[in-house]
Amino acid sequence: MANAPEKIAIGADGISASIGKSPILHGVTLQLPAGRWTSIVGPNGAGKSTLLRALAGLMPCSGSVHLLGRPLAQWHRGERARALSWLGQNEVAADDLMVYDVAMLGRLPHQPWLSPPSGTDHAAVEQALRATQAWDWRHRALGQLSGGERQRVLLARLLAVQAQVLLMDEPLANLDPPHQADWLLLVRALVAQGTTVVSVLHEVSLALQADDMVVMAAGRVLHHGACDAAATQAALEQVFDHRIHVRQLDGMWMALPSLQRKNNQGTKDVPA
């Protein structure tokens, strides 16, 4: 019996984007399956954040983006904000807002105009703040928190939306290793419940824990495949100029730094 066709949560058809006069994305086509975690990796300036912004509808682009089977442009704003939740890189948020109120911002798409938060909104905020271990700071101002603590509050805001599709740009920024591991477990739990997660990550070893990986360079997708596939791992090593090696340790795929440098002839040198 043939397998049922994979449901696509979010996809791009030939999208190109420019900033000012500089072309950044060059005809990217990508279909990201529902109920899976996809990590996007690549060197600095590869266009990862720009792609994520384009998928979120935050970046004008040519071509088309589809969310849950419908062109993004056909979604009503509020309906889209309930279906797709976004965490940007270095997000700006009002420092004098209380942590609880920052997380409550994630519930705005669920609230009728000028209505106070409902019991469901309060429950969602508490659940999100507890999930990121930020509940104890709920009465503190955002501006009083450290970089990692602040990031956990912004993650809670994203979770409070309870959207089907979560897009996160560098969600692990400033997080210490235990909270990085907690994030990973949280993502796995969300995906097990059917949520789709797409994250841009610089921590390549953590990116390898995703289901699928998109490898980008120079505004193009070089490879898209399962993280445990040899072709994906080869593309990953190649895009980082073989300065990392992918190896299995205790049953997990890890990226280890290669300390060999290329010399002028393009062959490998031992380190100085």
Ligand X SMILES: Nc1ncnc2c1ncn2[C@@H]1O[C@H](COP(=O)(O)OP(=O)(O)OP(=O)(O)O)[C@@H](O)[C@H]1O
Enclosing H/E stretch for 15? strand 8-19
Structure tokens given for 48: 């990862």
20 SS3 class: coil
Contact segment (CB under 6 A) with ligand X among 38-46, 55-63, 78-86, 221-229 equals: 38-46
Contact between 267 and ligand X by CB under 6 A: the answer reads: no
Q: How far is CA 52 from the centre of its chain?
A: 8
Does 232 bind ligand X (CB under 6 A)? Our answer is no
Q: Which is nearer to ligand X, 156 or 208 (CB)?
A: 208
Q: Is 171 a binder of ligand X (CB under 6 A)?
A: no
Q: How many residues in the shown chain lie near ligand X by CB under 6 A?
A: 12
Closest distance of CB 48 from ligand X, Å: 4
Q: How near is the Cβ of 62 to ligand X at its closest, in Å?
A: 16
Among 38, 39, 50, 199, contact with ligand X (rule: CB under 6 A): 50
The one among 11, 15, 28, 48 contacting ligand X by CB under 6 A = 48
Nearest-angstrom CA–CA distance, 205 and 216:
16
Among 46, 56, 61, 168, binds ligand X (CB under 6 A): 46
- 20 binds ligand X per the rule CB under 6 A: yes
Residue 42, interface with ligand X (CB under 6 A)? Answer: yes
How far is Cα of residue 79 from the mean position of the Cα atoms in its chain?
A: 21
Closest CA to 14 of 1, 30, 38, 2: 30
DSSP classification of residue 141: B
CA distance 155 to 187: 11
Task: Specify the residue, 102 or 172, whose C-beta has the smaller distance to ligand X.
Answer: 172
Contact of 63 with 27, CB cutoff 8 Å: yes
Taken in order 80, 83, 84, 87, is the CA torsion positive or negative? positive
The yes or no reply on residue 11 touching ligand X (CB under 6 A) is no
Task: Give least dist CB 20 to ligand X, A.
Answer: 6
Give the burial class of 267: count Cβ atoms within 10 A of its Cβ; 0-12 exposed, 13-18 middle, 19 or more buried: exposed
Structure tokens at 14: 């030939």
Only segment of 14-22, 91-99, 130-138, 174-182 that touches ligand X (CB under 6 A): 14-22
- From residue 51 to residue 70, what is the string marking binding to ligand X with x (rule CB under 6 A)? --------------------
Q: Are 261 and 253 in contact (CB under 8 A)?
A: no
Query: Does 24 sit near ligand X (CB under 6 A)?
Result: yes
Nearest to 88 by CA among 226, 4, 163, 200: 200
Q: Is 19 in the site for ligand X (CB under 6 A)?
A: yes
- d(C-alpha 202, C-alpha 40), whole Å: 9
Single out the residue of 3, 22, 193, 267 in contact with ligand X (rule: CB under 6 A). 22
Decide: helix, strand or coil at residue 80. Answer: helix
- Our finding on whether 194 is near ligand X (CB under 6 A) is no
- In the complex with ligand X, the residue whose CB is nearer, 19 or 229, is 19
Judged by beta carbon, residue 45 or residue 177, the one nearer ligand X is 45
Which residues lie near ligand X (CB under 6 A)? 19-20, 22, 24, 42, 44-50
